Amino acid sequence: MRHIRFLRETDRDDILEIAKHTWEGHDYLPYSFESWLKDKNSHTAAIEQDGHVIALANLRVIEDGKTGWMEGLRVHPDHRGMGLAKALTNHVVQNAAELRLERIRYTTATDNLESLRLGESVGMSRRFNLGVYWHEKPDEILWRYSTEDIASIEADELIPSLLESELLPLGIIVLDWKAMDAAPDALKKLGQTARFWVTRRNDVLNAFSLGFSRMAAGGPQWIFTIYAMDDALFLNHLSHHVAMASENECNTLFGAFHEHYTRVLKGLDWVSSEYDGDWALTLLERVL
């Protein structure tokens, strides 16, 4: 059986080496690794061979100890297909059970068959998909669509109407590949990094979106998620986030939305011809 240990500051070079080979160098690992080491709620796991880390993962306890968030599962390309990811996934699930967490969750790209298979092999089930889209140089997108008012809103004001609305699948908010129940405390915490916007018609909340700028491999990236009741509301909020990306001088735009809006997105003339509407993320969960 493989020995699994915690990550250390001295593993930095090995982690950067793995990240370099993941998603063409667009891995978020170099930006999260330091915070995992400092975070008492992060339970890192690493496999070492010949003095180098070759595989890693993190279990982050969130939502007041309720959820174990699985993230950062990576195996160096030279060591894939040998069961290392399986060993780490089993370890993380066992760790979550020992910590008496209520559930474990993670998101992955819907076409990441290995990752889905790994999750399902430890009893996790697919809960829902969201469409995703990313675009470089958002400042070059001149398209705007503004037919309805979009208001900025604080977490406190948002809570009752968002929870009553049927905008969120299973009452879960996703932002930047992470997910949490839309509970008052979680929204307040999220509001420390992200901003929230809504559109109301006749006092009913019909669209909600959130976004923030963060550092990524290619420079600052604008990240957003849109929950909207119809095409027009989706386009209004999309246009708003394109503008926010420009305003915040972001080099890329990355967003998630209900899967059926891929059809609307594909019809926009600035959207990449490589986008076939199949890009999506999946949330997986196991109740422990």
Ligand X SMILES: CC(C)(COP(=O)(O)OP(=O)(O)OC[C@H]1O[C@@H](n2cnc3c(N)ncnc32)[C@H](O)[C@@H]1OP(=O)(O)O)[C@@H](O)C(=O)NCCC(=O)NCCS
Q: What is the binding site for ligand X (CB under 6 A)?
A: 22, 73-75, 80-86, 108, 112-115, 117-118, 121
Run of H or E including 174: strand 172-175
* Least separation in angstroms between CB 110 and ligand X: 11
Strand 280-287 relative to strand 67-75: parallel, antiparallel, unpaired?
A: unpaired
Identity of the residue, 105 or 241, whose beta carbon is nearer to ligand X in the bound complex: 105
Identity of the residue, 46 or 198, whose beta carbon is nearer to ligand X in the bound complex: 46
Q: Number of C-alpha atoms within 13 angstroms, CB side, residue 181?
A: 13
* Least separation in angstroms between CB 282 and ligand X: 10
Token reading at 237:
């909020």
Residue that is written with structure tokens 């899967």 in the block: 259
Identity of the residue, 79 or 103, whose beta carbon is nearer to ligand X in the bound complex: 79
Identity of the residue, 18 or 162, whose beta carbon is nearer to ligand X in the bound complex: 18
d(CA 107, CA 126): 9
Type of residue found at 55: A
Q: Give, rounded to a whole angstrom, the gap between the first and last alpha carbons of the chain.
A: 24
Identity of the residue, 22 or 49, whose beta carbon is nearer to ligand X in the bound complex: 22
| CA-to-CA separations, 183 to 170, 174, 189, in angstroms, rounded | 12, 13, 10
* Least separation in angstroms between CB 269 and ligand X: 32
Identity of the residue, 114 or 139, whose beta carbon is nearer to ligand X in the bound complex: 114
* Least separation in angstroms between CB 88 and ligand X: 8
**Cα-Cα-Cα-Cα dihedral of 105, 185, 201, 169, to 10°?**
10
Q: Which residues pair with 284 in a beta bridge?
A: 106, 126
CB count within 10 Å of CB 203 equals 6
* Least separation in angstroms between CB 93 and ligand X: 14
* Least separation in angstroms between CB 101 and ligand X: 19
